[in-house]
Amino acid sequence: MIFELSEEQKMIRDAARDFAEIELKPGVIERDENQTFPVEQVKKLGELGFLGMMVDPKYNGSGLDSISYVLAMEEFSKIDASASVVVSVNNSLVCFGLEKYGSEDQKEKYLKPLAAGEVIGAFCLSEPEAGSDATSQRTIAEDKGDYYLLNGTKNWITNGNSASIYLVIAQTHPEKGSKGINVLIVEKGMEGFSIGPKENKMGIRGSDTHSLLFNDVKIPKSNRIGDDGFGFKFAMQTLDGGRIGIAAQALGIASGAYELALNYAKERKAFGKPIAELQAISFKLADMATDIEAARLLVMKAAWLKDQKLPYAKYASMAKLKASEVAMKTTIEAVQIHGGYGFVKEYHVERLMRDAKVTQIYEGTSEIQRLVIAREILK
């Protein structure tokens, strides 16, 4: 087994690290405080090719592997998880779904501008009463012959107001259950499509999370991805890749908190020496480093399996479960090591702790990941 990164992968990691320090770090506290979407930063991410990292260059993508993607996600997330979740959704959910399952016309019209970073996308599955239970879709896409008539509500949608292209999961044939669900491409500005107020969240506050409302929205049949009834399979396949992205985000949040805590512990003195030399603190740092490395190996294995076109659902869920738990544990300890300073915004760790919690919730809760893992190991 080879654990060494390629030169190209190292270059991508270093470029992402530089971008995070130079472009994301300035103003990150203010964006969090004011719930400001990182418009300029996301635009630059697009220009540098980070919003279509794994897309084939013929569709304006960067043509990189999943390992490079998770390396970049970790670096962005160390500094600004609100920006990194935009990268995750656009890459793992929207671009991936369109490239793998979309028609050539859909790729030309929608994937190319998404991969080029000219616009961003949103993945619309969750509903007020259908979050983790994707089979219970109450958003209806009624078949009207040449078009679908879309009605319903989606909530907790990342990029809800900033996106231009939305992949919406909706029920067409309720009597068929999961086999009656479709996925439709909806464009911002379509008549009957409106966006609800921005959610006031505990963490990733710079990310814009909204409810979406569909009232008799006419969607051309040409905007359906795949065959009639393919929507549920589309959602499940796409979420597997999405979990790798969120696992990488959680890993980055944990790594960022650990690095801050380590540096602070080396500089802060108590009882005549740096607190890092106190056993109580050094043991915390040792546990943090070990947990992060374990999570990193799971994330990398899931990404490697995906690149090898091998089954990766189990490891994607394992990676997300482990990394999100490590993110929560590590950020709490980072605040503790900082003491009173950890409770102050300017030291960043309190924000990372708030951001960490959502990684245990979206792309399927920790409980859902355990269900997926159990299903896989019991096959």
Positions annotated as catalytic residues are: 363
Burial bucket for residue 301 (CB in 10 Å: 0-12, 13-18, 19+):
middle
Cα(294)–Cα(317) distance, integer angstroms = 14
Q: Which residues of 336-346 are buried (b: 16+ CB within 10 A; e: fewer)?
A: ebbeeebeeee
Nearest to 96 by CA among 315, 345, 289, 363: 363
Three-state SS for 363?
Answer: coil
Distance (Å, rounded) from C-alpha 165 to C-alpha 231? 17
Q: Are 107 and 51 in contact (CB under 8 A)?
A: no
Alpha carbon 326 to its chain centroid, in Å, reads: 17
Q: What is the C-alpha to C-alpha distance for residues 245 and 302, in angstroms, rounded to an integer?
A: 10
